[in-house]
């Protein structure tokens, strides 16, 4: 259902040039009529608002029932940082966060993780941008598993593209839930974006491409 908050978030992404329409190739190799690039957030106002959207979703779903949040390099780093700040500012929830380096540091404190150091028994949530085919999730989970006996039950993303993964009839999100026990929470999904465009009456040229893509690749 397209709520006012979802409309606000879609408008926010479009204004920031994060949600774009045209012809793009995703990490999974699919040619898509829309693309979400959180790397285009570039101002203090934008990152503060973005953190607020993520924090609201975290607060509504898991509240303070987690130990720390993890932002996978690179785009997950500012997302986790902004979410941590907004959780404290807006909800009084102060939680540590951490992220990984693409290459392990061999001097100073060393290692591949920066920030909070996970411990046995921790419950970690992941803050990411988008899931298309689940590739990034499968790269992230071994990093966290190597931290010790921790639980990773929840992941928060900007957009659920609702796309089929490696198995016919199953989205990538369904697959990662089965594979890792990971519940993925999205601020909006592809249906919300489609409905927003349809309701606005200004994007008639985009809708056919969106609908064709959704019919081919999405499980709704």
Digit-coded pLDDT (tens) for 114-131: 999 999 999 999 999 988
d(C-alpha 153, C-alpha 185), whole Å: 11
Single out the residue of 212, 168, 166, 167 nearest to residue 190, CA to CA: 212
Higher pLDDT, 133 or 73: 73
Q: Where are the beta strands (DSSP E) in the chain?
A: 19-25, 31-36, 68-71, 97-105, 111-115, 123-127, 130-131, 151-160, 183-189
C-alpha 216: how far from its chain's center? 23
Whichever domain contains 15, its CATH number is 3.40.50.2020
Neighbours of 173 (CB within 10 A): 25
Give the pLDDT band (50/70/90) at residue 27: confident
**Nearest partner of 81 among 93, 92, 67, 69, judged by Cα:** 69
Q: Over the stretch 161-203, which tens digit does the pLDDT of each residue have? A: 999 888 889 998 999 999 999 999 999 999 999 999 999 888 8
State the average pLDDT for the chain: 91
Q: Which residues are catalytic?
A: 105, 107
Q: In angstroms, rounded to a whole number, what is the distance separating the alpha carbons of residues 32 and 163?
A: 11
Query: How many domains are contained in the chain?
Result: 1
Residues 6+ apart with CB under 8 A from 57: 156, 185, 187
Residue 107 has pLDDT above 50, yes or no: no
**Is 162 within 8 Å of 174 (Cβ atoms)?**
no
Going by pLDDT thresholds of 50, 70 and 90, the confidence category of residue 110 is: very low
C-alpha radius of gyration, the chain, whole number: 17
DSSP state of 163: B
- The whole-number average pLDDT for the span 145-168 is 92
pLDDT beyond 90 at 159: yes
**Domain ranges, residue 184:** 4-217
């Amino acid at each position: 259902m397209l709520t006012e908050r979802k409309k606000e978030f879609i408008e926010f992404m479009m204004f920031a040039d994060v949600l774009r329409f045209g012809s793009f190739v995703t990490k999974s190799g699919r040619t898509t009529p829309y693309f979400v690039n959180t790397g285009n957030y570039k101002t203090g106002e934008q990152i503060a608002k973005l953190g607020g959207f993520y924090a609201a979703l975290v607060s509504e779903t898991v509240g303070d029932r987690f130990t720390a949040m993890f932002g996978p390099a690179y785009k997950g780093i500012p997302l986790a940082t902004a979410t941590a700040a907004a959780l404290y500012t807006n909800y009084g929830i102060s939680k540590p966060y951490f992220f990984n380096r693409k290459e392990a540091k061999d001097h100073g404190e060393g290692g591949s993780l920066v920030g909070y150091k996970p411990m046995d028994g921790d419950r970690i949530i992941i803050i990411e941008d988008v899931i298309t085919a689940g590739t990034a999730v499968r790269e992230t989970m071994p990093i966290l598993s190597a931290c010790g006996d921790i639980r990773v039950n929840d992941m928060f993303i900007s957009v659920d593209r609702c796309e089929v993964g490696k198995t016919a009839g199953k989205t990538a999100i369904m697959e990662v839930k089965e594979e890792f026990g990971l519940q993925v929470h999205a601020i909006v999904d592809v249906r919300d974006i489609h409905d927003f465009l349809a309701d606005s009456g200004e994007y008639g040229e985009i809708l056919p491409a969106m609908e064709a893509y959704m019919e081919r690749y999405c499980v709704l």
